[in-house]
């Protein structure tokens, strides 16, 4: 897409996808979109892209874990996805003695594959259910409609639920509630780790290179899906066998050229391309700066401990990666939204919309109502961010806040001894999980800093009543950093959550006064209760009204320009989408040009022995220096291609998505976007937007040459 440029003289439609913009529903591509794909170079038929009755590309694509995409690449259920998508499973399989996260892992036969807690979901079919939903909601006001909607969805999905065959339905709202589509999934529960490169390969460049091009990251991992002998989903069992899939992707090692067709299937998580200027103003001025500052603080203290101790690094690795990823994203998003003047562009469109809506009672007050809704919530937005990203950003505070369920069981009228026992048992199990990943040294610093930042940055009238007054009386000046350090040290030293003897005594004889007197519980509960009582209702009202206005606004926009509405795609919502574009270099700034590929030459240039982000295995350096590339060499360059970029439209959730050539062959795995276009959730830029992909030839080279797992290569269908 382009920067969405609006003017009062010539208004570009908010609906119409340009250039390579668009996350299209595979069942609803439309002839015009399909024709555009063919013009870009596609050689496949519509039925090969998506078919209910026959195997098609959609059958090789799956939801990996809870928020990524994966693809089947062999007739034995082999899965490729990103390293960062398999990160938790790799970390959980690791120990200090067998550190697969640090050293990498490959199973040289199926017996060596490692059990995981992962699930994958295959798309079985897509069903239009708009009429069924709307008929069930007819005549209801917005509040009643919102209340009834979950029951309506459940009634629809219950009809397709089949526990024995792992089938479940999920209804997705499209176009902000103007259309409803049910996706039916088959879930497999026996997923095993097959391979992963060393973390230095899978995360090469670390946070420095995150969201950046040029990139040299081997962001891949390998798993396998198992089922019963008759292909049904089942819990892990040695009796299970590799799944025989409906379809799998051949793997091309032919190489790519600038301009080649590229298509991406996957599950993009969320976009808000139809956001208003009011939402962008709040994001730019309050939400994003608050989030970035608070995550920056948390990352600083975690990193301090991770670089000191490999065991701590292993313990915090997954959480750190998740925090860091979107810390940089939201920082870049704000900068790009300001650079591209997206707020002003949206205002321009809204002016033309207001002129069109004048005299139309159903629509003429939409923008006025939006303005009033944002004005009512904006004063409290920072306080919510500081709670979620600051106070509850501490693992200890997050766990302690959950103990409110125990408090309720002890104090709420009508609760029984059985209720208390149930709450204590659940909290005890959650505590064990919390302690496994808790690093006290970093968390204590996070608690101290978050409490001080809340005090300093959030309006004093929104502080929890009495909390800071108690801190001042016990520990001193609230403007002194040392006060918060003393308070946090006392909290960690005295909390029953962190003391086995105190916790055991509390479990044996739970009482509300003991819990309420615990410093960790007092801290977390003070802030959470204050929010829940005073501000959560305001936030709920804000979101509810925004949803109501959003549905009306999108309905109006589609009426305003019916021709554009016919070519409109819905915002991403973690339903399967397909995007298309080309391999393409770009110019990020004056006198700058970025090639469409990176090579091993760049890896050697970036490599720093022993560096936290740019180290590599000695064997890899030796092989690259020898130019031992084998069949994976790019003949045109005489080098090993590491990554490449395309113009595809993707977002979070597409991590691990296959990049597919014109003939349906796998050429890479999508794993990132570029910094110059981090406003892509709101506005797609046709000139600067690029998807960053690891070249499948580098993936295979790492498996074969670096990992020695030729058995995996032999399982693939290579296209040469």
Q: Which residues are catalytic?
A: 84, 219, 655
- Burial label for 705, CB within 10 Å (0-12, 13-18, 19+), is buried
Place of tokens 């120990």: 95
What angle in degrees, to the nearest 10, is found between the helix axes of 417-437 and 404-411?
170
Residue 209 CB neighbours (<10 A): 19
How many angstroms separate the CA atoms of 583 and 393, rounded? 39
User: Residues 153-167, buried b or exposed e (16+ Cβ, 10 A)?
Assistant: beebbeebeeeeebb
Q: 634, 614, 653, 648: which is closest to 695 by C-alpha?
A: 634
Give the number of other Cβ atoms within 10 Å of residue 286's Cβ. Answer: 18
Answer for the pair 302, 320: CB distance below 8 angstroms, yes or no.
yes
- Pull the structure tokens for residue 217: 């990251």
- Look at residues 697, 645, 692 and name the one whose alpha carbon lies nearest to residue 673: 692
**33 membership: H or E segment, kind and range:** helix 30-40
Cα dist from 102 to 192, 335, 476, 608, 652, whole Å? 19, 34, 44, 17, 25
Tell me the backbone φ, ψ of residue 40, rounded to 5 degrees.
-70, -20
Q: CA–CA separation, 203 vs 313, rounded Å?
A: 14
Sign of the Cα torsion 652, 656, 661, 667 reads positive
**Residue 67 · residue 704 · CB < 8 Å:** no
Dihedral, CA of residue 268, residue 271, residue 274 and residue 279, to nearest 10: 170
Can you tell me the distance from the alpha carbon of 678 to that of 655, in angstroms, rounded to the nearest whole number?
Answer: 15
Best CA proximity match to 164, nearest among 224, 115, 119, 227: 227
What is the Cα–Cα distance from 642 to 629, expressed in whole angstroms?
Answer: 11
- 3-state SS assignment for residue 689: coil
DSSP assigned state of 227: E
CB atoms within 10 A of CB 660: 28
**Could you give the angle at which helices 310-339 and 288-306 cross, rounded to 10 degrees?**
160
Angle between the N-to-C axes of helices 481-494 and 440-457, in degrees from 0 to 180, rounded to the nearest 10: 130
- Grouping H, G, I as helix, E, B as strand and the rest as coil, residue 482 is helix
């Amino acid at each position: 897409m382009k920067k969405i440029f609006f003017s009062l003289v010539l208004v570009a439609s908010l609906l119409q996808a340009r250039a390579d913009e668009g996350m299209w529903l595979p069942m609803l591509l439309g002839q015009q979109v399909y024709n555009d794909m063919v013009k870009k170079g596609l050689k496949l038929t519509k039925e090969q892209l998506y078919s209910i009755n026959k195997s098609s590309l959609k059958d090789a694509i799956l939801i990996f874990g809870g928020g990524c995409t994966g693809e089947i690449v062999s007739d034995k259920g082999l899965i490729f996805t990103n390293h960062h998508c398999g990160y938790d499973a790799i970390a959980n399989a690791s120990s200090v003695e067998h550190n697969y996260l640090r050293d990498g892992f490959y199973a040289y036969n199926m017996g060596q594959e490692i059990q995981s807690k992962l699930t994958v979901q295959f798309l079985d079919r897509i069903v239009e259910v708009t009429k069924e939903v709307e008929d069930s909601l007819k005549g209801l006001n917005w509040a009643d409609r919102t209340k009834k909607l979950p029951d309506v969805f459940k009634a629809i999905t219950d009809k397709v639920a089949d526990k024995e065959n792992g089938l479940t339905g999920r209804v997705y709202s499209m176009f902000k509630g103007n259309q409803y589509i049910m996706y039916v999934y088959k879930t497999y529960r026996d997923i095993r780790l097959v391979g992963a490169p060393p973390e230095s390969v899978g995360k090469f460049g670390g946070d420095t290179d995150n969201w950046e091009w040029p990139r040299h990251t081997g962001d891949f991992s390998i798993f396998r899906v198992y089922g019963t002998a008759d292909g049904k989903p089942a819990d892990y069992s040695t009796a299970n066998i590799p799944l025989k899939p409906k379809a799998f992707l051949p793997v091309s090692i032919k190489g790519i050229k600038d301009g080649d067709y590229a298509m991406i299937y996957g599950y993009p998580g969320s976009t808000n391309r139809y956001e208003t200027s009011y939402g962008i103003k709040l994001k730019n001025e309050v939400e994003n700066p608050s989030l970035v500052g608070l995550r920056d603080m948390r990352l600083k203290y975690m990193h301090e401990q991770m670089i000191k101790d490999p065991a701590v690094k292993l313990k915090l690795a997954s959480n750190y990666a998740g925090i860091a990823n979107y810390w940089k994203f939201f920082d870049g998003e704000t900068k790009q939204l300001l650079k591209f003047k997206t707020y002003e562009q949206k205002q321009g469109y809204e002016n033309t919309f207001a002129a069109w809506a004048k005299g139309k009672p159903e629509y003429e007050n939409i923008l006025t109502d939006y303005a009033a809704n944002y004005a009512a919530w904006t004063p409290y937005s920072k306080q919510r961010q500081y709670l979620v990203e600051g106070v509850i950003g501490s693992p200890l505070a997050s766990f302690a806040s959950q103990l409110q369920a125990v408090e309720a069981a002890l104090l709420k009228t009508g609760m029984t001894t059985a209720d208390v026992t149930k709450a204590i048992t659940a909290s005890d199990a959650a505590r064990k999980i919390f302690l496994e990943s808790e690093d006290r040294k970093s968390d204590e610093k996070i608690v101290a800093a978050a409490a001080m930042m809340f005090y300093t940055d959030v309006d004093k009238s929104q502080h929890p009543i009495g909390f800071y007054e108690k801190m001042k009386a016990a520990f001193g000046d609230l403007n002194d950093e040392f006060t918060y350090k003393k308070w946090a040290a006392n909290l960690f030293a005295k909390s029953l959550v962190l003391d086995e003897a105190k916790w055991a005594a509390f479990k044996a004889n739970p009482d509300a006064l003991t819990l309420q007197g615990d410093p960790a519980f007092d801290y977390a509960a003070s802030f959470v209760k204050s929010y829940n009582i005073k501000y959560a209702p305001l936030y709920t009202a804000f979101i509810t009204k925004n949803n109501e206005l959003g549905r009306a606004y999108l309905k109006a926009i589609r009426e305003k320009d019916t021709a554009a509405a016919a070519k409109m795609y819905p915002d991403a919502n973690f339903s399967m989408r397909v995007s298309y574009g080309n391999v393409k270099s770009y110019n990020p700034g004056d006198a700058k040009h970025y090639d469409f590929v990176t090579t091993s030459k760049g890896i050697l240039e970036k490599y720093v022995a022993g560096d936290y982000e740019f180290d590599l295995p000695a064997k890899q350096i030796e092989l690259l220096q020898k130019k031992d590339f084998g069949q994976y060499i790019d003949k045109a360059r005489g080098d090993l291609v590491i990554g490449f970029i395309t113009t595809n439209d993707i977002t979070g959730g597409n991590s691990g998505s296959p990049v597919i050539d014109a003939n349906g062959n796998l050429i890479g795995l999508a794993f990132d976007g570029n910094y110059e276009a981090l406003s892509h959730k709101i506005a797609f830029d046709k000139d600067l937007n690029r998807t960053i992909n690891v070249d499948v030839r580098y993936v295979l080279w790492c498996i074969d040459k670096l990992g020695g797992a030729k058995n995996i290569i032999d399982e693939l269908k290579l296209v040469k």
